[in-house]
Structure 1
Amino acid sequence: MDLHGDSRTVLTLDAGGTTFVFGAMRGGKPILPPVVRPSEGHDLTACLRNIEAGFQEAWERCGGAAALSFAFPGPADYPHGVIGDLANLPGFRGGVPLGPLLEARFGVPAFLNNDGDLFAYGEALGGLLPEVNAALAAAGSPKRYRHLFGATLGTGFGGGLVVDGRLFLGDNAAGAEIWTTRSKLHPAAFAEEGVAIRAVRRVYAEAAGLDPAAAPDPKAIFEIAEGRRPGDAVAAREAFRRLGEEAGNALAEAVTLVDALVVVGGGLSGAAPLFLPSLVAEMNAPLRALDGHPIPRTEVRTFNLEDAADRGAFLKGDVRHLLVPGTDRTVPYDALKRTGVGLSRLGTSEATALGAYAYALFRLDSNPTC
């Protein structure tokens, strides 16, 4: 897919619980300043009016488009453009065929997908994945990666998976929904309870002896941890350490199943220096056999790609040149099975927009009559 050589325009939307941000891309780059509208998700009529008006403004500024493609929260039947019962946009409860509505309104295909999926797709095509492979090539390593798991940490805990350059959706458009994996620290709960803004605030309040309602937002907690704002620095560091432990537990499960690199984005990713070490440590922590002896948590060792020493070891690997028996020929062999965890290289919003753009082009080219 030659994203940067494609002349088609695709209108995009990042749909949140409070605001809708519209844009446009051509040649793999944004061509329009953001158009922002309130979501008014409690009122379906007002919400749909704002979606149509936002796309109409973007359409007029660009002189038309080949498709609409955007991230929308779930649950949803994304392939058919039907939005289901949303917590943050309750007006859609009962099911609304948003895709078909927009196709009728604008006369071009409308593609919807999950923001975690599109974030992973964007990073796979133009972010962390190609950067890692270029660094491996520069280091003389024969190792290359073709799969990427994307995780977004913010209001919720989102996930997306790209397999060999293609977005993995699953049979029910519910692939890579990491948020419902089991929490490590609260086994009766789901992972998102420990990997979200509310988790950072809750743990800080518990550790600092505060009323949870009085806990500051994660940005303030991060500044407290760094000593740039008054507060309980020990509690602040524990809040992010625990976030990393919970996320690492869930990502270890994902990597066990899909054997992929991991990219992290979302609103909480700015605090990565405080949670990434515990995230990677958890992915490398051993499990125990019933007789007590340790076994690796995953078949691969996880490296922190934001740490210089870890990144160097990851790029170097354990390359050997083995003699083919009975010949004088050798073959390279990298004996170190490994994965890496790195931060978004594009920024979460930019990666999601690029993923939406690429997904639209893929769908258009796969089915030119759509």
Structure 2
Amino acid sequence: MNEKPVILTLDAGGGTFTFTALQDEQPLIDSFPLHAHSDDLDLSIETMIKGFYRVIDEIGTKPDAISFAFPGPADYKHGIIGDLPNLTGYRGGVPLGPILEEEFQIPVYINNDGDLFALGESRSGFLPYVNELLERSGNPKRYKNLVGVTLGTGFGVGISINGRLLQGDNSAAAEGWKLRNKQFNYTNIEDTISIKALKRIYAEQIAISPENAPDPVDLARIAKGEIEGVQPAAREVFLRFGDALGDALAHLTTIVDGLIVIGGGVSGAYDLFSGAMLDEMNGYFTSLNGIKQPRLLQKVYNLENSWQTQEFTTTEHAVIVTNKRLKRKVYYQPEKKTGIGLSRLGTSKAISLGAYHFAMNRLTE
């Protein structure tokens, strides 16, 4: 193994495979794309192999592992890819990981992009950023767990616990898209949390076909009054989006109790949906006896807001407790807090660094 391990990786999005290599979290070469040939399995795998050999030639050293994100369904633990809707050549269980391991004689790790996004943000992005804010504020609290969500074509989720990816026994942990939809309890969350859903919600309000509805970027601009369109309908789109998202994130927070970071294309409309999202997360249940209780044990702070960030990091509400049986004073923070904010790395970079850290974890076990 190299003194500082070299990890080969690729991005399998957009009909291309984009290759690079990382060492000490930094790229060793400029990334380059090759056509994925997604409808021809043999040609697609051949392209992948050629791409990795080209990376090896450019870096001039033997790599220590290959690690990358690839669409599912898949048995990621064993590197086997299932029937992919967008890479139609992959059918019937493709042993992609074992094929690459035999070819290059190094370990190969494959995961989904939502998982690697979360891992990248937990090791190199949002989580260390938040802990640095706490340190600068003189607050002894440190966070170790993180939920990462990507908002785009669908609702991607990954969970990092103590810097390790939560994978599950069937490579199916954190499949957040399977959460029930608050607004339509007979379906899953992606019927509200997806690009397709955003277009549908706008179209339904103004009686047009969803195919003719603006994309999310233009919907956000309409909602802000920057371009022509039906502004009330566009604003309603993001209110519903935020409400459903807040419900899903509240469920995840109940289980994980960690920070939450948001990436993906639709995260650019954070200022439009975050209010409804936080209202839901910091809202209340009403018991059958009529008594209200907070939805979560934690209060969720918007770390894209300077005032809320200050409230999140402050130690003003902390208590130093003593007892006649104790010789020392103990720091006590009565309020349980968690924070939510946007990716500090960018989605693509976070996924790439997640792939790097996953490989490093496995190589050093």
- TM-score of the two chains, using structure 2 as the length reference: 0.95
Range with greater deviation from structure 2 (65-74 or 31-40): 31-40
Task: Quote the Cα distance in structure 1 between the aligned partners of 2:191 and 2:35.
Answer: 27
Q: How does 1:171-320 map to 2 (within 5 A)?
A: 171-316=169-314, 318-320=317-319
Distance in 2 (CA, whole Å) between partners of 1:358 and 1:327 is 42
Q: Counterpart of 1:58?
A: 55
Change (3 A) 1:38 1:156: farther
Distance 2:39 2:292 in 1: 51
Residues 131-142 of structure 1 aligned to structure 2 (within 5 Å)? 131-142=129-140
Q: Does residue 1:145 correspond to 2:143, yes or no? A: yes
CA distance in 1, matches of 2:344, 2:100: 32
- Counterpart residue number, 2:363: 364
For 1:138 and 1:181, locate their aligned partners in 2 and report how far apart those are by CA, in whole Å.
Answer: 37
Provide the aligned C-alpha RMSD in A.
1.6
Moved more, 38-47 or 357-366: 38-47
Summarize deviations over 1:168-194 as a string: whole Å, max 9, x none: 111111111111000011111101221
Does residue 21 of the first structure (1) align with residue 18 of the second (2)? yes
Equivalent-residue separation in structure 2 for 1:37 and 1:229 (angstroms): 37
Match for residue 7 of structure 1? Answer: 4
Amino acid at match of 1:22: F
Give the residue type in structure 2 aligned to 1:362: N
Identity %: 46
Cα drift, residue 45 of structure 1: 2.2
Deviation sequence 1:107-128 (CA, Å, 0-9, x none):
2211101111111111111111
Residue 125 of structure 1: aligned partner: 123
Q: Is the 8 A contact 1:277 1:304 kept in 2?
A: no
Deviations 1:130-156 (A, max 9, x none): 111111121121211110111111111
CA distance in 1 between counterparts of 2:39 and 2:281 reads: 40
Aligned residue for 1:264, secondary structure, equals: strand
CA deviations over 1:275-322 (Å, ceiling 9, x no partner): 122212111111121122221111111111101121111111521111
Q: For residues 28-68 of structure 1, what are the alpha-carbon distances to aligned partners after superposition, in whole Å with 9 as ceiling and x for unaligned? A: 11222221123332222232232223222222222242111
Q: Distance in 1 between matches of 2:354 and 2:362?
A: 12
Residue by residue over 1:210-260, the C-alpha shift from the partner in whole angstroms, topping out at 9 and shown as x without a partner, is: 211101111111122222221112222221222111111111101101111
- How far apart, CA to CA, are the structure 2 residues paired with 1:350 and 1:288? 42
CA distance in 2, matches of 1:185, 1:74: 26
> How many pairs were matched up?
362
Query: CA 1:290/1:360 → structure 2, altered by over 3 Å: closer, same or farther?
Result: same
Please list every run of 5 or more consecutive structure 2 residues that lacks an aligned counterpart in the other structure: none
SS of the equivalent of 1:142 reads coil
Give the TM-score normalised by structure 1.
0.94
The separation in 1 between residues aligned to 2:142 and 2:136, in whole angstroms, is: 12
Is the 1:17–1:88 contact (alpha carbons within 8 Å) kept by the matching residues of 2? Answer: no
Secondary structure of the 2:89 match is helix
Gaps of 5+ in 1: none
Q: Give the Cα separation in 2 of the matches to 1:212 and 1:31.
A: 44
Secondary structure (helix, strand or coil) at the match of 1:100 reads helix
3-state SS of paired residue (1:352): helix
TM superposition outliers: structure 1 runs of 4+ over 6 Å: none
Amino acid at match of 1:43: D
Secondary structure of 2:180's counterpart equals: coil
1:262: how far off? 0.5
> Which of 155, 158, 169 pairs up with 1:157?
155
> Partner amino acid for 1:157?
F
| Inter-partner Cα distance in structure 1 for 2:212 and 2:48 | 35
The match for 2:31 is 34
In structure 2, C-alpha distance between the alignment counterparts of 1:179 and 1:96, rounded to whole Å: 24
**Is the 8 Å Cα contact of residues 6 and 26 (structure 1) preserved in structure 2?**
no
Deviation at 1:327, TM superposition (A): 5.1
Q: Using a 3 Å threshold, how does the CA distance of structure 1 residues 154 and 119 change in structure 2: closer, same or farther?
A: same
The answer to whether the 8 A contact 1:13-1:22 is kept is yes
